[in-house]
Chains A and B, each alone.
Chain A
Amino acid sequence: MAGSGRAAGLTGDAASLSGSAPRDFRSAARNHPGGGSWTPWLYLAPALVVLGGLLLYPIYQLGLISFFRYTQAQVSGGEPTSFEGFGNYAELFGDSQFWQVLLATVLFAAACVGATLAVGCALAVLLTRVRAVPRLALMLAALGAWATPAVTGSTVWLFLFDPDFGPVNRLLGLGDHSWTYGRYSAFLLVLLEVVWCSFPFVMVTVYAGIRAVPAEVLEAAALDGASQWRIWRSVLAPMLRPILTVVTIQSVIWDFKVFTQIYVMTNGGGIAGQNLVLNVYAYQKAFASSQYGLGSAIGVVMLLILLAVTLGYLRSLRRQGEEL
């Protein structure tokens, strides 16, 4: 009995090595589309519920509110909400301030992205050329800037550039020059803060990417007498293109949506709204002047612009033949 049992066990083992049983195991492991096809959906369920309820539904609501007249009177229930069609959009597009803010947002975001990428990439290359101690110093400083919350970063930079008590004006001998008074100098100050707290992400990511490039490639280029700039342009940048695309797109998304820095540093959009960007503009319209419908319309415009950018990014990914 025992012998036959063992034999059965052996044949069973043999079968599992070559017969039909292993296919079952393997397909179970590979999660065949047939039987267990509900399993991935089970795993996805919590994420989909949360995203559906707190992201998708609010987006739908945002779109809906943007078609209504929705002010304090409607919120408190004093007046019924009335459908306005594209009324809010018409009001928005007819307002010259909106176009000013839109232009400022695009230019400001472009400047931030450009500066962040330039600083981040340059420092990433620099990191590969120095020994451990300077590298650690730069890495730690960058992590510190990265970790600084946007609110504290904003107040600290304001203090550094304070006309009365800040060290920067003393150092540059600018007297009591106010940085937040002029439109462009205020934008410049915010830009400096934004670059300060967002270049570390680019630097660390690109540095990780450069480290993955085979050393021989770089050595060959250096032996051929290529300058540092030439190596970056002709060797590194093409090899790092997927990474550069990712950090660029993330920077565009983040910088286009800048809120806290503008809100805190220019005190809600600057003198007479000279430093407004779309995000702060929408917030001011909605919560400061209770025009929720108009604020939502601005939100929808922002969403559409960012959506266009993302779709462009996806197309470029596909053109590079990358699989998701």
Chain B
Amino acid sequence: MSLVNLVRGFPRRPGRAMAEATALVVAAVVAFPLYWMVLSAFKPAGEIQSDEPRPWTLTPSLDSFRRVFGQQEFGRYFLNSLVVACSVVIVSALIAFLAATAVTRFRFRFRTTLLIMFLVAQTVPVEALTIPLFFLMRDFGQLNTLGSLILPHIAFSLPFAIWMLRGFVKAVPEALEEAAYIDGASRARFLWQILFPLVFPGLVATSVFSFISAWNDFLFAKSFIISDTSQSTLPMALLVFYKPDEPDWGGVMAASTVMTIPVLIFFVLVQRRLVSGLGGAVKE
């Protein structure tokens, strides 16, 4: 191994320097939009509306953030978004865990059919269902409530979550299950006290996707929260600053920063598990 590395390493040195330089440049380009977003959020109004935009600022100001948080009930929108995203993550993770256990640990009729349906369900264009969902929510009196945002997102994140969790549930050895039953554990005890903790990292990786889809949603918020703005969510608050003719760029960037940070934190926290989780999900 080391010999091969030696043989391979020497003639490749210049190649590696090139590769590393490319990687760093690409990283800078990819990170640039985010950098510009945060930078612009801290720039004073005069510098944003300048013909000579500079990639730094010597006089950072919190004016844009003040405008954002001064907007009617911005804190409330933030909280609403958080409630929606967290409810979706927790509920869909629990439901997906049970379903994934059923399709990996049991053999029963229609199992393959169900699996195919979970896959097909991922292709459903959520946006197209806005129309029937609107009528459904109206009939159940859910319009203008956070429930009208939570319920559909649970449904839409489930198929992918189940699909991804399969790999994690499968990875838990069956011998463990046998041992648990021999030791007298009930099915419920095995499920929640043994299997659940073991699959937990997979649940975290999966929940990234449901968190993002719920946190990002602005179509349902736009369509279902029509009259009661106290139930609105962050994307709607952000678009208040974005008027196509003369957008308040400072406000938009500050609101974008506030909206992006929770997701970034979430990502950094689960980053390791995400990478290994995706690896596990595709390897299988």
Contacts and interface: CB of A to CB of B under 8 A. Distances in A.
The dominant DSSP class at the B interface is helix
B120 A295 contact: no
- Which of A43, A135, A302 is packed against the most chain B CB atoms within 10 Å? A43
B30 A141 contact: yes
A60 to B, nearest CB: 8
Given A306-B124, A324-B115, A157 B238 contact: no
B252 interface: yes
Interface string A121-161: 00100110111001101111111111111111101110110
Contact of B187 (A33, A39, A196, A223): A39
Given A142-B30, A307-B120, A314-B119, A292 B131 contact: yes
B98 A46 contact: yes
A272 interface: no
Interface string B97-124: 0110111011110011011100111111
A131 to B, nearest CB: 7
A143 B127 contact: no
B51 interface: yes
A138 B30 CA distance: 8
B79 interface: no
A287 B129 contact: no
Contacts of A208: 275-276, 278-279, 282-283
Interface residues of A, number: 105
A65 interface: yes
B172 interface: no
Of B34, B115, B238, B259, which is in contact with the most chain A CB atoms at under 10 Å from its CB? B34
Interface of B: 1, 4, 7-8, 15-16, 19-20, 22-24, 26-28, 30-34, 36-37, 40, 48-53, 55, 94-96, 98-99, 101-103, 105-108, 111-112, 114-116, 119-133, 135-136, 151-152, 154-156, 158-159, 162, 174, 177-178, 181-182, 187, 212, 215-216, 218-219, 223, 235, 238-239, 242, 244, 247, 249, 252-253, 255-256, 259-260, 263-264, 266-268, 271, 274-276, 278-279, 282-283
Interface of A: 16, 25-26, 28-31, 33, 37, 39-41, 43-44, 46-47, 50-51, 53-55, 57-59, 61-62, 65, 123, 126-127, 129-131, 134-135, 137-153, 155-157, 159-160, 162, 164-167, 170, 196, 204-205, 207-209, 211-212, 215, 219, 222-223, 242-243, 246, 253, 256-257, 259-260, 264, 267, 279, 282-283, 286-287, 292, 295-296, 298-300, 302-303, 306-307, 309-311, 314, 324
